[in-house]
Amino acid sequence: MYRAKENRYENMTYRRVGNSGLLLPEVSLGLWHNFGTYDNYNEMERILTRAFDAGVTHFDLANNYGPEYGSAEENFGKLFKDNFVPYRDELIISTKAGYDMWPGPYGNWGSRKYLIASLDQSLKRMGLDYVDIFYHHRPDPNTPLEETMGALSQIVKSGKALYVGISNYDGDKMKEAAAILSDLNTPFIINQNRYSILDRSIETNGLKKAAASNGKGIIAFSPLAQGLLTDRYLNGIPSDSRMVKAEGYLKEKGLDEETLSILLKLRDFAENRGQSLAQLALSWILKDDDVTSVLIGASRVSQLEDNLQVIKRTPLTKDEIEEIDKITNGYKY
């Protein structure tokens, strides 16, 4: 049986989620990739236990993470049973619903039917009585926001989640959701959105400013732009990469000369301050208190270890932030 290191909380910094009482580690672990049907269970176990030993208390999932759909939650359930049962009260476990999950009209989007049924399935897959945070994964243009937020409220009142969050909402829609949930006395505390040096849409769509002004946290996913902000693509496109396999949003645009030029300049900038490109990208996300935590993924322990070095970072100065802005010059991947 796994026994966590006694000094696991010595190095990690924990940030308050908006105005709530909850703290999250600066670095959280996402199970979007590498925890599905076709991945190595032993390596999953090594990644999760090493993360927890380093003070990573937050594991983030969704109903359709895999592939296959549900398999990341199933594997996490096994890992939890084998390793983490004694530490349940030290963990923040989150999951989501909002994207395609099962056939027919009730397995997608944001209806009360879908959200409540999906969480029931997620809890069974993970072997949990409750999750700490349950998210609506994306806005539903065809379901009244009152219904979707009402379902989140009911989920908290039923004891199946302690807090709720929303994902992929812009600033205006977040404020609407926050007002409804406030009227329902529901603890809405956090937004999960894509954010990186190469994708700053939460700054342009008002989400970052609205979250701060409304006392809500932000947790950033894809901080490494699904691998672009690492050394992986600097010398060509690997045959086993997501870009070749057309996974995720990397399939939308190739690695053109402009992108590569920016990445090389960022790599040089990172090396001059004693960091890898990935470590610089994570440092940039955590440059201010508006972002509560950054979600990293890992396919192997060595990758996790490299990313965790950001805990020991030297904070970026104002001049360094401005230099990064000059390098990217408004670029968006």
Residue at 269 is within a domain: no
Q: How far apart are CA 132 and CA 25, in angstroms?
A: 14
Give the mean model confidence (pLDDT) for residues 128-147. Answer: 98
Give the mean model confidence (pLDDT) for residues 220-234. Answer: 93
Residue at 266 is within a domain: no
Residue at 83 is within a domain: yes
* Tokens read off for 91: 């963990």
Q: How far apart are CA 180 and CA 55, in angstroms?
A: 34
Residue 232 burial (CB count, 10 A): 19
The whole domain housing 36 covers: 14-226+279-317
The interaxial angle of helices 257-272 and 277-285, nearest 10 deg, is: 90
In this model, does residue 245 exceed pLDDT 80? Answer: no
pLDDT of 253 reads: 58
Q: Answer yes or no: are the C-beta atoms of 65 and 73 closer than 8 Å.
A: yes
* Tokens read off for 24: 């999250």
* Average predicted confidence (pLDDT) for the chain: 95
pLDDT of 252 reads: 44
Give the mean model confidence (pLDDT) for residues 116-145. Answer: 98
In this model, does residue 242 exceed pLDDT 90? Answer: no
List helix spans (H) across 36-142. 41-53, 71-79, 112-126
How many structural domains are present in the chain?
A: 1
Residue at 212 is within a domain: yes
Q: How far apart are CA 149 and CA 177, in angstroms?
A: 7
Report the candidate in 70, 176, 52 with the shortest Cα–Cα distance to residue 122.
70
Q: Answer yes or no: are the C-beta atoms of 98 and 138 closer than 8 Å.
A: yes
pLDDT class of 254 with cuts at 50, 70, 90: low
**Three-state secondary structure call for residue 66:** coil
Q: Where are the beta strands (DSSP E) in the chain?
A: 14-16, 23-25, 27-30, 58-60, 92-97, 131-136, 161-167, 188-194, 217-221, 293-296
In this model, does residue 240 exceed pLDDT 90? Answer: no
Q: What is the DSSP letter of 314?
A: P
Residue at 257 is within a domain: no
Tens digits of residue pLDDT in 12-71: 999 999 999 999 999 999 999 999 999 999 999 999 999 999 999 999 999 999 999 999
Which residue is listed with tokens 């925890």?
A: 35
In this model, does residue 241 exceed pLDDT 60? Answer: no
Residue at 322 is within a domain: no
The CATH number that applies at residue 81 is 3.20.20.100
Q: How far apart are CA 98 and CA 248, in angstroms?
A: 17
Could you give the percent of the chain with pLDDT greater than 70?
Answer: 94
Q: How far apart are CA 142 and CA 109, in angstroms?
A: 9
Give the mean model confidence (pLDDT) for residues 199-211. Answer: 98
Q: How far apart are CA 277 and CA 268, in angstroms?
A: 8
In this model, does residue 79 exceed pLDDT 70? Answer: yes
Q: Answer yes or no: are the C-beta atoms of 228 and 254 closer than 8 Å.
A: no
Residue at 178 is within a domain: yes
Residues in the chain: 333
Q: How far apart are CA 196 and CA 131, in angstroms?
A: 27
Report the candidate in 287, 296, 311 with the shortest Cα–Cα distance to residue 13.
311
Residue at 168 is within a domain: yes
Residue 147 burial (CB count, 10 A): 15
Q: Could you tell me which residues are beta bridge partners of residue 193?
A: 220
Give the mean model confidence (pLDDT) for residues 195-221. Answer: 98
Which residue is listed with tokens 């959200």?
A: 115
Give the mean model confidence (pLDDT) for residues 109-118. Answer: 98
